[in-house]
Structure 1
C-alpha cells in the first residue's frame, strides 16, 4: 500500500515522492478522522462555517482561504481544477463536483485511481514518483490547485502557486482533519454549503454504524501493516486508523500504546519473536501483496496467536486499509462498508 505522507517529524524519506504507506509504516499522522473535529477551535470553526456557508451560497467571489504555507484568493468560480497532493485532494474535487482536469496518480492502485474516487478518462493523471510534475500540471492550465494532501507541500507550494492559486493546509502538513479538509476545499470552490452537507452525511453514517453494532463497543484491537516480514502496529490512539476503529466503540490495545515509536510517529515495529504484543479482541493486519501475506501467515508464532486460533483475525485488504488510513468524505463510507462486516464477525468469535 503506497502511502503518501512524508512525515512532518523528519522521518527518513522513502525513495518515492509519497513513500510507501504501509510498507514503510507511514500512516497518516494525527487525528485525521474524528467526529468532533478535534484539534480545532470549535467556536471559531462554527463562526467561520456560518460566515463561509453564507458566502458560498451566494456564489460570492473572490474567496480568500487562509492557510499554510500561504493563503490563496480565488477571484472567480474555478473552471479548471488540478487536484495535486495525494488521493484526498482528488476525492474532494470529485465529491464537490469541481471541473477537474488533472489529478495526482494514486500509486496505491494499479490504474492510479481509487475504488471510491475515479476521475474520468478526460482527466490527466500526474505521476509524482520522480518529483513534482510541474510541466504536466502547467500544461493542464488550472485556475485552482488543490494541494492540501501534498506531504511535500513546504517544498512544492511556491512552484505550484506560480502556476495557479494553490490551496494549502490549515493546521500543518498531515495535521488537518478530514472534515476540515473538506470544508476548506469547499470554500476555495465556492461550495462550502455542499462540503458541510457531505461532512454531516459521513458523520451520520459513522454514528449509525456504531448504533447498529453495539457489540463492537469496548473491544480491543491492534492494526498494522506487514511487508517483507517486517511487522508494524499502530501505537497512538490519535492515528487516523486508530480513530476510525475507536469511533465504532473499539479501543486500541493498551500494551501497544506503551511501545517505543519507530522512525514513523504513531506506530511501532514488532519483532518476529514478540508477535504476542499484537494480541487483542480483534487483530487486524494488512499486506501490500498476497506473497507477503502468505509468507507471514505460515509462521508458527502467528498461527499460535490466540486471536488467530479463535477466528478474531482480519487480513484487511489493502484498498480498505488505504481508505481508513487516509480518510475523506468518499473513502470513509467505503472503509465502513468493507471493514464493519469483518469486524462484526471477528468480535463474535472473540
Structure 2
C-alpha cells in the first residue's frame, strides 16, 4: 500500500500552466486528452460554517487539507460517487460503471451525461480530461492512490484524496461517507445517512427472523479455473452480510483459519461453499450460464441443496461494492433468497 507523507493545500483550482508538466508525471506515458468538456456546475453544498474548515483528511496517499467546502467534485470510485450523491451534491464527474456497459450505476438515475462526465478508471485516467472539469476536489480510486505520479499530477489540479482503507482496499461505506461529509462540511448529514443505512440493514433480521444463525457465501466467476469468494473479516461484502445477521460459510471460515486464500478459490476448493445460501454471478451473463451447466457447479454444496441464487452481472457487480446508495438495490435483488432462507 502506498504511503506518501504528502500534504496538499486547497486553494482554488490550481491547474496552472503546469498542467503539461503534471501530465508528464504519469507513469506509463502522458495521458491523452479525451472529453475535456467542463460539464455542468456541481450542485454546491449549503455554505458550511467557518468552524468546519480547514479540515485535514488522512488517507492511504498521505494527508490533504481542505480549506473550504468544494463545489465541483470529481469522484473516481463508486463509493465516492454514492457518498457524494447521498449528501446532496451531484459530482461534475464520476467513474464509469462497467458491470454491464452502463455509463453510470443503475441506482443513480440522476447522473446523466453531459452534466456529469463519465471517467474511465479502468484504462489510464486522463489528467487533462479531469483538469478541464475545473474540480475543487478529487476523490481518487485505488489506481490514483497506488500511482505516485498520477496522484501528484491530480494534486496539482485540485486537492486529491486517496483511498481511506488499508490492505489495498478502500474503506467501508460508512468510512467513505464520513470522509465525504468532512470534505463537504456535512458531517452531521453523513452521520444521519450512516445511521439510516445501518438501520435498514439491521431490519433485515427483524423482517426475516428465520435468518438467525444462517450462513452465506458470495461467488464471482473469474478466469477459467478460479472463482472469487470471501470470509475475511475485513471483506466489505462479509461485513455487509454480517450487518444483516448472516455469518460467512463455515467452509470458507475454516479455510481462512488455516491460512488459506479465500479471496480466490480453485475449482478443487468449491466444497468450501457450504453456507445456507449462496449468491453467485459472473462478469458476464453468458459466462455464468456456461458455468451453471458444468458438473463442477453441480457439486457445490449449496447447489446440491438448492439454496443458491444467480445474480446478473449488474447486481453481482453492485454486491462487490456495497454503498450507502445501493443498499435498497441490493436488498431488492436479494429478497427472494432472503425470504426463502428466512421462512
TM-score category, normalised to shorter length: 0.7 to 0.9
Residues 307 and 90 of structure 1: is their aligned pair in 2 closer, same or farther, counting only changes over 3 Å?
Answer: same
Tell me the distance in 1 between the aligned counterparts of 2:133 and 2:122: 19
Residues 89 and 70 of structure 1: is their aligned pair in 2 closer, same or farther, counting only changes over 3 Å?
Answer: same
Partner of 1:295: 290
Tell me the distance in 1 between the aligned counterparts of 2:312 and 2:105: 13
2:328 corresponds to 1:333: yes
User: What secondary structure sits across from 1:66 in the alignment?
Assistant: strand
User: What secondary structure sits across from 1:188 in the alignment?
Assistant: helix
C-alpha RMSD of the superposition: 2.7
Tell me the distance in 2 between the aligned counterparts of 1:303 and 1:154: 40
Partner of 1:108: 99
2:157 corresponds to 1:166: no
User: What secondary structure sits across from 2:142 in the alignment?
Assistant: coil
Tell me the distance in 2 between the aligned counterparts of 1:305 and 1:104: 35
2:228 corresponds to 1:232: yes
Partner of 1:124: 117
201-210 vs 237-246, greater mean Cα deviation: 237-246
Shift in Å at residue 231 of structure 1? 2.6
206-215 vs 235-244, greater mean Cα deviation: 235-244
Give runs of aligned pairs for residues 301-320 of structure 1, distance below 5 A.
301-320=296-315
Q: TM-score under structure 1 normalisation?
A: 0.74
Contact 2:75 2:138 in 1 (8 A): yes
Give runs of aligned pairs for residues 94-105 of structure 1, distance below 5 A.
94-105=85-96
Paired residue total = 291
Tell me the distance in 2 between the aligned counterparts of 1:99 and 1:244: 26
Partner of 1:43: none
Q: Which has the larger radius of gyration?
A: 2
Partner of 2:135: 142
Partner of 2:239: 243
Unpaired segments of 5 or more residues in structure 1? 1-6, 9-55
2:67 aligned to which of 75, 78, 97:
75
Shift in Å at residue 153 of structure 1? 0.8
Contact 2:142 2:163 in 1 (8 A): no
Contact 2:212 2:245 in 1 (8 A): yes
Unpaired segments of 5 or more residues in structure 2? 3-46
User: What secondary structure sits across from 1:174 in the alignment?
Assistant: coil
Q: TM-score under structure 2 normalisation?
A: 0.76
Partner of 2:32: none
Partner of 1:179: 174
Contact 1:234 1:267 in 2 (8 A): yes
User: What secondary structure sits across from 2:270 in the alignment?
Assistant: helix
